[in-house]
Homo-oligomer: A and B are copies of this chain.
Amino acid sequence: MLKIAMLSTGEEVLHGDIVDTNAAWMSRQFFEKGFSLSKRTTVGDIMSDLVEELMMLSFNMDVVIVNGGLGPTTDDLSSAAAAKASDQELVLFPEWLETLKAFFQKRGVPMPDSNLKQAMLPASSEIIDNPIGTACGFKMLINDCLFYFTPGVPSEFKMMVDTQILPDLQSRFPEQVGSDCSRLFTFGTSESGLSDKLDKVQLPQGYMLGYRSYLPFIEVKLFGPKGDLDTRVRLLQLIYKLIESHVVSVDESMLDHLGHLIAEKKLSVSISEQSTQGWLTNWLHSNERAASFCGHTWVLSGATEVGTKDQDSLAAAFALSGATREKCATDIGLVTGKVEEDQFTVALSTPQGEWGQQLKFNRTFTKQDQKELVGTIAADMLRRYLSGKPVFVNYSSTTTLKEMHLPANVL
């Protein structure tokens, strides 16, 4: 198996001033194209650390992508470190010097002296063009390991990976084939709850399950050989059946799926938010399809009393969902009621009737996590309604205290 690593450089990355989005992006591209990384490492702008890391990687890896450290300033050390690690001199590459001069001439300014450094590369390197910046990339062997050096600026880096490095790897290693990945997005269960159910699934050779947990969703991923469609579909059906009540979407996020459903049914939605304070509206609007069917939203301040004094909070949310729908003249009214201690309400008013439930958090959540959980439960009620599924279901992080449903003919 081809062993591939990425080395990110720079004090600002190492000390966390910058989140290394280049690394996440490249890892995903490489994985999908069949060039999975075995390892990523990050070191700062210290010559000895850089040289040591290049040497270490050269002994253990087949291919290494180095990112950053090609700028014109004195703390950009990647070329010099590559020269040291391969026991070569830095030499002037006249072709890149010409490119640099042209770059500055076009902008009507003389080339600063500091940029000359960007045309000095280890003697055995081969230039990788950078059509949108002053730092060229380069490739070279160190101890038989193939190194690609790339600039840290994300746009320059991404263009270089997409148009030059990945094609180069594909022509050098045509036998590397990526795997396919199917995704089931679940809500309202735990990772252990899922794995208890899915651990019994017998996976054929070459297939693998993975979980990706990010509140409030857990993504179940099925990896397997490319093109093997029959087996994949059969496995997906099997997995789907085992966890059906918690699957909110397949191969697209719950929000994207909800956007499709709303657009397909052409139903307009208005919202009243108490506990979620704008979170639900902001979230729904981040999907273009859903946004185009959203009517008004009222975000009600904490102090607001909705309903009469004698009404309980579920009845109040229930009434509010009808009122929201009516006042905003939309097909659907969706409500997140106030959080009181560890209890909250959600309600949905539709042409087919109204649904409301009062729930209790099973554990302590931060305010932000509460918002996301309550908002997602409200959205899940809408999703279930639009998909023709039972609107109520059990979620592992909450306990249902009361449910109310009025069909339209009763209203």
Contacts and interface: CB of A to CB of B under 8 A. Distances in A.
A285 B292 contact: no
A364 interface: yes
A24 B16 contact: yes
Contacts of A271: 299
Contacts of A295: 301
A43 interface: yes
Given A40-B14, A282-B282, A285-B278, A192 B297 contact: no
A18 B24 contact: yes
A16 B11 contact: no
A11 B210 contact: yes
Question: How many copies of the shown chain assemble into the complex?
Answer: 2
Contact size range, A = 35 or more
A155 to B, nearest CB: 7
Interface stretch (A88-96, A111-119, A341-349, A377-385): A111-119
A155 B337 CA distance: 26
B212 A18 contact: yes
A184 B261 CA distance: 45
B286 A367 contact: yes
Contacts of A364: 132
Nearest to A303: B295
Contact of A31 (B15, B367, B371): B15
Contacts of A196: 112-114
Given A16-B23, A363-B107, A41 B42 contact: yes
A387 interface: no
B195 A114 contact: yes
A93 B392 CA distance: 40
22 contacts: A12-B212, A14-B37, A16-B23, A16-B24, A16-B28, A16-B29, A16-B31, A19-B21, A37-B44, A39-B53, A40-B42, A72-B191, A73-B211, A113-B196, A114-B199, A115-B192, A132-B364, A273-B278, A277-B281, A278-B283, A296-B300, A297-B298
Given A15-B27, A38-B43, A71-B192, 12 more contacts: A12-B210, A16-B28, A39-B43, A72-B192, A73-B191, A75-B211, A112-B193, A114-B195, A132-B364, A273-B278, A278-B285, A288-B367
Interface of A: 11-12, 14-21, 23-29, 31, 36-44, 49, 53, 71-75, 106-109, 112-115, 132, 134, 153, 155, 191-193, 195-196, 199, 209-214, 271, 273, 276-283, 285-286, 288, 291-292, 294-302, 304, 362-364, 366-369, 371, 396, 399
